[in-house]
Structure 1
Amino acid sequence: MIIFDPTQVVAARQGSRAALGGLINAAKGPVFNLAMRMLAHREDAEDATHEILIKIITHLSDVREIDLAGAWAFRVATRHLTQTARLGRVEKMRLTFEDFAENLNHDERDGSHIGLTEIEHQLALKEVKVGCTLAMLVCLSRPLRMAYILGDIFELTDTEASGVLEIQAGTYRQRLRRARSSVSDFMQSNCSIHSASARCRCENRIAPALRLGRIEKGAANLNSDQAAQLHPDEIRKDVAALETARRSVAIMRSNPQFETSVPSLVEHLLNRIM
Structure 2
Amino acid sequence: MKDKLNILVEKANLGDRKALELVIIEIKDLVFNLSLKMLLFPEDAKDATQEILIKVITHLSTFNNKSQFKSWVYSVATNYLLTQKGKRSKEFAMPFEDYADLIDLGQSNEVRYSKNEGELSLLEEEVKVSCTQGLLLCLNDLDRIVYILTDILEFNGVEGAKILKITAENYRQILSRSRKKIRSFLNNKCGLANPKNPCRCTRKIDFLIDQKIVNPKKLRFAKFSNRSIDLVHQISDLENSIAIYRSTPSFPAPQAILKEIKKTLNID
TM-score, with length taken from structure 1: 0.89
Cα offset for 1:44? 0.4
2:249 is aligned with 1:248: no
Tell me the equivalent position of 1:179: 178
- Aligned letter for 1:127? E
**Residue equivalent to 1:259:** 252
Distance 1:4 1:214 in 2: 42
Aligned to 2:194, the other structure's residue is in SS state coil
Change beyond 3 A, Cα 1:175–1:272: same
State how far apart, in whole Å, the 2-side matches of 1:168 and 1:129 are.
34
Alignment of 1:145-184 (within 5 A): 145-184=144-183
SS in 1 for 2:255: coil
Match of 1:86, SS state, is: coil
1:238 corresponds to which of 225, 229, 234? 234
Q: Does the alignment pair 1:268 with 2:260?
A: yes
Which ranges of 4 or more aligned residues in structure 1 deviate by more than 4 Å? none
Q: In percent, how many aligned pairs have the same letter?
A: 31
AA partner of residue 165 (structure 2): E
How far apart are 1:101 and its partner, in Å?
0.5
**Is the counterpart of residue 12 in structure 1 residue 17 in structure 2?**
no
Alignment match, 1:62: 62
- Equivalent residue letter for 1:52: I
Give distance in 1, aligned partners of 2:112 and 2:232. Answer: 24
Which residue does 2:136 correspond to in 1? 137
Q: Which residue of 2 aligns with 1:229?
A: 227
Q: Residue in 2 aligned with 1:23?
A: 23
Runs of at least 5 residues in structure 1 that lack an aligned partner in the other structure: none
Q: 1:208 aligns to what SS in structure 2?
A: helix
In the aligned structure 1, how far is the partner of 2:166 from the partner of 2:45? 24
- For the pair 1:206 / 2:205, whether they are aligned, the reply is yes
Paired residue type of 2:227: Q
Contact persistence 2:44–2:89 (CA under 8 A)? no
Q: Which runs of 5+ in 2 are unaligned?
A: none
Pairwise CA distance, 1:93 = 2.8
- 1:71 counterpart residue number: 71
CA–CA distance in structure 1, aligned partners of residues 95 and 44 of structure 2: 20
State how far apart, in whole Å, the 2-side matches of 1:224 and 1:120 are: 11
Tell me, what secondary structure is at the counterpart of 2:251?
coil
Query: Per-residue deviation at 1:273?
Result: 3.1
Deviation at 1:214, TM superposition (A): 2.4
